[in-house]
Structure 1
Amino acid sequence: MKKLFLMLVVISNIIVTPQSVIQKISPSLETKLATVNTSEKILVWIYFTDKGNSLENYYANPESVVSGKSLQRRAKLNSENLIDYTDLPVNAEYVQTLASSGFQIKQKSKWLNAVSGYADKNTIENILTYNFIKSIDIVKTFQKSDDELEFNQIETEKFINTPQPEGVHSLNYGQSFTQLNLIQVPAVHDLGYDGSGITICVMDAGFNNLAHVAFDSMNIIAMWDFVNGDPNVGDEGDMGTGSHGTNTLSVIGGYAPGNLIGPAYRSNYILAKTENTDSETPVEEDNWVAALEWADSIGVDVTSTSLGYLEYDPPFTSYTWQDMNGNTAIITIAADLAVKKGIVVVNSAGNEGWRTTPNSLVAPADGDSVFAIGATDGSGVRVSFSSFGPTFDGRIKPDFMAMGSNVYAARSSGTTQYTFVSGTSFSCPLSAGVVALLLQANPNLTPIQLRNILRQTSSRSNTPDNFYGWGVLRALDALNQIAVPVELISFNAAYTDNVVELNWITATEKNNYGFEVQKRYDGEQYKTVAFIKGNGTTTNRVTYNYTDTDIRADKIYYRLKQIDYNGDIDYSNEILVDVQPADNFELFQNYPNPFNPETKISWYSPVNGNQTLKLYDILGNEIATLFNGFLQAGRHEIILNTSSINAELVSGIYLLRLKSDNFQKQIKMVYLK
């Protein structure tokens, strides 16, 4: 009977384990849990089911989520909805609950709605019971092969590049001339493009020699070490060494005339240390994802990453060549999402070119929208270590090629020494620099528009394949394909006689189909109110006018959406017209409406006096007094938050009534619970 009893207990445990809990564990984590002891901690991703309630505040105030520069970049893709659900922070209460359960938080990802961190088997089993947990998976870690280290870290003085012809170009490139001339960068520099105004994030193993003269004039606007959790991206006793990052950063943005010049030597730089070179598993994807989200919040335009993820040492779970399908690796999913937010993601294709598998790509180079960069020698011939495609789902990879053999770079020791290095690690920053130059020429280009231009102008544009992609980049040819946006000399608005007069003047027009006049009231979204046909092509200044007769008393914002003949668009700056009613007592419609939990209420009083603002249900029963006091004449506004009302609102229509000594106004509002 004792044996039978034990058997019944085991069966009972199997039966009562909820299927929903079992389904939360990924197959790779399930395998891992079966092989570890109870006390061993595992690095995992924990995905949440939602982001909680009270999210409307973020949508109403996008700059509380990301910077104004990030919003400006996103407007290239979607001018109406600058942020979406993926931009909202992970729920703080969920994170605190995990921490209280013994989970050690490492990184947070709002894009993935997840956190990474360390947990033992018992903690994971406990976490699985929380109803806000969607799933748990292993964070992938990466082991560089000896061959890859060799290709990425070659430092020797035996190579001599083709000397720069005298008197041909405006800058003296020294030994870096060959790597730049192959991709037509000197010719673009001669036209005055240097990457100014473009923000680039370089993600690497740290940057241990920023004292090198090549970085003396570099504008570094932000730095963070995601391995050690501090702002120091050098070595200084931390985990990981930054010689590789020193090399890659100098290749893209160094400036030491006569020795080394990078293609984007006047760009703004964000430096992120994401790789720990000390351990046997030096790279963790969550560091890279966290760095990418951080750079987005600052307003990055281009990322350059000379890292890749594929096979890992046991007992760590590896990706396979079949996983290089654009939808499996977490880093790839995050990279493609960044492109949807307007960021150009440039990544090394990998140094796995000798493999016998159908592809030798590394994530995130497999991403559909990622610019995967292979490597050539100084004459444009592919070098043997450069990874090849196609992706598992049949897409051509790499995308483009640049010089990755014997590239001239700043040395990781000393302040005036240089070296030659090899690997797709160095064709990547050269390519990212070209992207920065093209964005400088037209900042309104989206990542996909840029990719299409580069595909049309690279050396194998007509015969792409899975060893060269669309070929070696040709920066000058690509620049000549870019439609230059119309330059606005002025844009003005004036309110007179109950109309708004707009006028604007353009400089020489090369490609102007016309302008959409867009307008929004305070707190609302832009809407197109008119189309003004352009003058096409002209060498003279052109003056345009538009009269807006459909207006109401409020703050009114206008902007112009200039449209090129090839479909490219360019937005003007926003201008404000504050229309104040002269004699009318006005209660404006709340925004947003419907609302939950907050809405903005605005009104205008032409005289000083006591004013009362009250909320009623549809039957006229008073619910709350929102304001009661003396106000000066002018415009006023408050924010109504349902949490501040001592009554629980149900979904439906409510009345908002404003009274003064001599006036009364009322509007309807809709609350959706």
Structure 2
Amino acid sequence: MRILLAALLLCLSLPTFAQKATPEGAMYFVGFADKAGTPFRIDEPTAFLGEKALQRRQLHGSAITELDLPVSPAYVSGVQQTGAQVWLKSKWMNGVVVAAKEEQVAALKKLPFVREVYLAAPKQYTRSSALPVVPNLDRPAPSFEPVPVNPQFYGYGWQNLDNMEGDSLHHWGFRGKGVLVAVFDGGFPSVNYKDFLGYADAAAVPANYDLVEQDDTALDGSTHGSTVLSTMAAHHPFFFVGTAPDARYVLFKTENGRGEHRLEEINYAIALEIADSIGVDVVNSSLGYTTFGMKEMDYTAKDLDGKTSPASIAIGHAFARGMIIVTSAGNSGGDDWKYIGTPADAPDALSIGALNDDGTRAYFSSFGPTADGRTKPDVSALGVSVAAITASGRGLTAADGTSLASPLVAGLVACLRQAVPTATNRELLDAIRATADQAAQPDNERGYGRPNFAAAYRLLQQARKR
């Protein structure tokens, strides 16, 4: 994962490109034709979805469909019989990621139930155990006493909150309590430190999962994830308090620091599947994909249609199931590319641009529209000299990028979710756009403008009184 706190842009790949098998092997996605033989049933969803996930779907009227069923074990077994090592399983993409050699790839393509096989990454991934580790979500959230809502108590986090009228939500008692937030990034070292999540040690962190090495130790890797997380979750009174300190956080490591490969985008899609199944309400992904280590995998502007990228497609599935996905728009506004990346192009993503302190667009913030003409970004937030906690948990940094603007918004989305629990995800996003500072004239520089979360809350409350 390429990380520039001054201007973050993570890059990825194109879904169709030349197949280049290598004798030493590589990582491939193997797509199945159907789900024949799966032992799971649509009318027995508790076997593969948690209670909180089912409650969220009930609120949104989202039916359980075949898309939700896990892949066919018989098909997985058939793949393994070729000698390929099954790495990841995706129910929404209906397939598996495998580590395979050239002759095994040839055998995979001949299987009658296989609809596609494509290269996802060179073989530079490792797994710490023979099988993936299942995330543990049984730990309780931290509990904080009622706090004063003033600049002194929030310290260096005050501007992040006050800039979008988030202090009003906090004053009314909405700081994200009861809301489950997932964060996708390249790692979260040192977040066990109590001022990040309110826990005394790593063993108490609610859940973290590494899709790269497939273990429950996402508390390593890139420090970028820790900085992003701090803007939402930090609770260090009189020094730094984040935009949603009472929310509960699930941390997913989806990015491989060894290089940019399409497998990261598949990791993203699978992380959304897991997040859905455990009942996550809001996701922040300060990630974006445009170019890649292998040029034949690069996206072009015409691919930014919301239905080409696996990550963008997965956002559509997650949104249909009641989740809200907040993502950075990208930091290519000053480059030749200039446009947003994926998955910010997804129709149902809340894509976030970056603003200067005076509310003008930051020079690096990526432009819309999407390839099919939709306005992006959706809204924009402070993205220059954003106050955040360093990865050690003991210092302060000032960082730039849409990767910092995104979690500021995501944290307040979690607070709004708590404030209006009966609202659908679409109602929440519509209210955020409708009350932003240029809602009457949205454009492809700032979207609908800077959000006003107090106004969004009032609009939602008024709608419920009618």
TM-score interval for Structure 1 and Structure 2 normalised by the shorter chain? 0.7 to 0.9
Deviation at 1:457, TM superposition (A): 0.1
Measured after TM superposition, the shift of residue 54 of structure 1 is 6.0
How far residue 60 of structure 1 moved from its aligned partner, in angstroms, is 2.4
Residue aligning to 2:343 = 364
Match 2:411 to one of 413, 429, 433: 433
Counterpart AA for 2:19? K
Q: What CA distance in whole angstroms lies between the structure 2 residues aligned with 1:67 and 1:457?
A: 34
Runs of 4+ in 1 over 4 A off after TM superposition: 280-283
Q: Does 1:60 align with 2:38?
A: no
State whether residues 107 and 286 of structure 1, in contact with CA within 8 Å, keep that contact through their aligned partners in structure 2: no
What letter matches 2:329 in structure 1?
Answer: A
User: In structure 1, what residue type is equivalent to 2:33?
Assistant: T
Q: Distance in 1 between matches of 2:55 and 2:197?
A: 29
* Of 190, 198, 204, the match for 2:171: 190
The answer to whether the aligner puts 1:172 opposite 2:153 as a matched pair is yes
Query: For residues 281 and 137 of structure 1, what CA distance do their matches in structure 2 show?
Result: 12
Q: Do the aligned partners of residues 186 and 458 (structure 1) sit closer, same or farther apart at CA in structure 2, a change above 3 Å counting?
A: same
Question: Deviations for 1:582-616, whole angstroms, at most 9, x for unmatched residues?
Answer: xxxxxxxxxxxxxxxxxxxxxxxxxxxxxxxxxxx
Query: Which residue pairs with 1:386 in the alignment?
Result: 365
Shift of 1:213: 4.0
Aligned partners of 1:381, 1:259: CA distance in 2, in Å?
A: 28
Matched, 1:330 2:313: no
**Aligned partners of 2:149, 2:312: CA distance in 1, in Å?**
42
Structure 1 unaligned regions, length at least 5: 1-25, 142-166, 236-240, 486-509, 512-564, 566-673
Give the SS at the match of 2:195. Answer: helix
Q: Does the C-alpha gap of structure 1 residues 86 and 280 become closer, same or farther in structure 2, counting only changes over 3 Å?
A: closer
Tell me the CA shift for residue 333 of structure 1.
0.5
* Residue of 283, 296, 302 corresponding to 1:303: 283
Question: Letter of the aligned partner of 1:426 in structure 2?
Answer: L
Conserved in 1, the CA contact under 8 Å of 2:165 and 2:453?
Answer: yes
Contact 1:234/1:242, CA 8 A, preserved across alignment: no
Q: CA deviation at 1:168?
A: 7.5
Residues 1:424 and 2:424 are matched in the alignment:
no
Aligned residue for 1:266, secondary structure, equals coil
Cα offset, 1:315, TM superposition? 5.3
1:261 aligned residue? 241
Q: Which has the larger radius of gyration?
A: 1
User: Could you tell me whether the CA contact under 8 Å between 1:140 and 1:316 is conserved in 2?
Assistant: no
Q: Does 1:90 align with 2:68?
A: no
Give the structure 2 partner of residue 449 of structure 1: 427
Read off the aligned partner of 1:69 and give its amino acid letter. Answer: K
- Give me the whole-angstrom Cα distance separating, in 2, the residues matched to 1:335 and 1:384: 27
1:53-107 alpha-carbon deviations (Å, 9 max, x no partner): 465x52222111110100100112216x3x1111100011111111120222221
Total equivalences in the alignment: 424
Residue 257 of structure 1 deviates from its aligned partner by: 1.5
What amino acid does structure 2 have at the position aligned with 1:123?
Q
Q: After superposition, what is the alpha-carbon deviation per residue over 1:136-182, rounded to whole angstroms, capped at 9, x for unaligned?
A: 233379xxxxxxxxxxxxxxxxxxxxxxxxx9738622122222211
Q: Indicate the residue corresponding to 1:294 in structure 2.
A: 274
Q: Which has the higher helix share?
A: 2
AA aligned opposite 2:339 = S
Partner of 2:427: helix, strand, or coil?
helix
Aligned CA RMSD, in angstroms, stands at 2.2
Q: Distance in 2 between matches of 1:253 and 1:181?
A: 16
Structure showing the higher strand proportion among its residues: 1
SS state of the match for residue 96, structure 1?
helix
- Secondary structure, counterpart of 1:468 in structure 2: coil
User: SS at 2:75's partner residue?
Assistant: helix
Q: Does 1:225 align with 2:210?
A: yes
Q: How does 1:260-659 map to 2 (within 5 A)?
A: 260-279=240-259, 281=261, 284-314=264-294, 317-357=297-337, 360-413=339-392, 415-483=393-461, 511=465, 565=466
**Counterpart in the other structure of 2:55:** 72
Instruction: Give the Cα separation in 2 of the matches to 1:216 and 1:389.
Output: 35
Residues 443 and 281 of structure 1: CA distance in aligned 2, closer, same or farther (over 3 Å)? same
**C-alpha separation in 1, matches of 2:194 and 2:277:** 30
Cα 1:259–1:464, aligned 2, differ >3 Å: closer, same or farther? same
Specify the SS of the correspondent of 1:175.
coil
Counterpart Cα distance in 2 of 1:323 and 1:269: 32
1:131 maps to which of 109, 112, 135: 112
Equivalent AA in structure 2 for residue 366 of structure 1: D
Structure 2 counterpart SS, 1:336? helix
Q: Which residue of 1 aligns with 2:126?
A: none
User: Structure 2: which 5+ runs fail to align?
Assistant: 1-13, 123-147
TM-score, length-scaled by structure 2: 0.86
- For residues 38 and 282 of structure 2, the distance between their equivalents in structure 1, rounded to whole angstroms, comes to 32
CA-CA distance at 1:211 after TM superposition? 3.8
1:183 Cα deviation (Å)?
0.8
Give 1:325's aligned amino acid: D
SS in 2 for 1:200: strand
CA distance in 2, matches of 1:383, 1:389: 14
Q: Distance in 2 between matches of 1:61 and 1:282?
A: 33
Structure 2 vs 1, CA of residues 213 and 379 (structure 1 numbering), >3 Å: closer, same or farther?
farther
Contact 1:277 1:283 (C-alpha < 8 Å) held by counterparts: no
CA separation in 2, counterparts of 1:27 and 1:181? Answer: 41
